[in-house]
Amino acid sequence: MPFVKERFIVPQKIQAFLFVMRTLNCTQGQSQRVLAKGRLLVDGVSMSNRGEDIEGEVEIVYFKPKSKGLTPLFQTPDFMVFEKPSGVLVHPNTMATPYSMLDEIRTLSGDNANACHRIDMETSGLLISSKHKKAETTIKTLFADRNIKKSYLAWVDGKLTEAFSSHEPIKTSNDYTTSKHKVYIDPKGKLSKTDFLPLKYDKKLDATLVSCHPHTGRTHQIRIHLFHVKHPILGDPIYGTTFATSDAYLDGHITESERMINTGASRLMLHAQSLEFDYGSGFYIESKSDFDSMSDLICPKEDRCFNTLEE
């Protein structure tokens, strides 16, 4: 469990934020965040007064990384690139999250290391993380300014034969009563662009391996663009399936066999394949995973029964 609660004895009065700084070997800003989130407890009660003195027995709840031994695919003194497995969060979304990529990142490089971009939990592939705060700021700026080129691989439903681009604008949903889609295509949405190149068609599976090149970084951009052209990514539990299936998935009530039949695969068949950027010098980093062969995770064509829903 990455978040732990530990007891400490404070032998003499000291300001709360100073105690947290010295105990966790962190910056003043990090200490103040611990207090702001109520993670310093006195007599079992959270305290948030940063300047208040404390003495005696206290408890601190803090992130204590626990590695599973995942090593970087590539690293420099400033950053690391990991092959993130499908099903693993980048950051813990609650204090009860048992494991995330942050466990590996901070085990290797300490509390100032951090992931620098988002990858959906079920998407596998390349994840870049900083080793220190200055590198984090630089890399996040590169992403914000669209100076990092990314490519993905996806196994999609049906046959695609020609390269194409999607320029459909994307809008965030705020109504999940009839659809669990987090985003949808809308003329009032944000400008978005993705280029797609079919690489291989598997007739037996009725599935196409597609290379995807996003030029913008909207939430679920590749997923919604492929769904919009009626070739949803296989295994997608949100786009390209029924409301009931999406609801069951989000509630954690879907079985493995139901997932296979109703979404077309046992996981989201999307993989972050490459990163290209300048950081002092030029870098091109490509995944070593054989995503092509992961087609064995796809449900046979004759057993699939999911629906490509209208938006």
Token couple for 214 = 């996003």
Catalytic residue (choose from 120, 247, 251, 292) = 120
Buried b (16+ CB within 10 A) or exposed e, 37-56: eebbbbeeeebeebeeebee
Residue 102 contacts residue 63 (beta carbons within 8 Å)? yes
Token couple for 176 = 């999940």
For residue 104, give the 3-state DSSP assignment.
Answer: helix
Q: Is 120 a catalytic residue?
A: yes
Residue 135 contacts residue 78 (beta carbons within 8 Å)? yes
The residues, ordered by sequence, that sit 6+ positions from 27 with a Cβ below 8 Å of its Cβ are 21
- Smallest Cα–Cα separation from 70: which of 119, 37, 105, 109? 105
Q: What is the 3-state secondary structure (H, E, C) of 150-204?
A: EEEEEEEECCCCCCEEECCCEEECCCCCCCCCCEEECCCCECCCEEEEEEEEECC
Alpha-carbon torsion angle 102, 106, 107, 109, nearest 10 = 140
Can you name the residues that pair with 197 across neighbouring β-strands? 211
CA angle 252–257–261, rounded 5-degree value: 105
Catalytic residues: 120
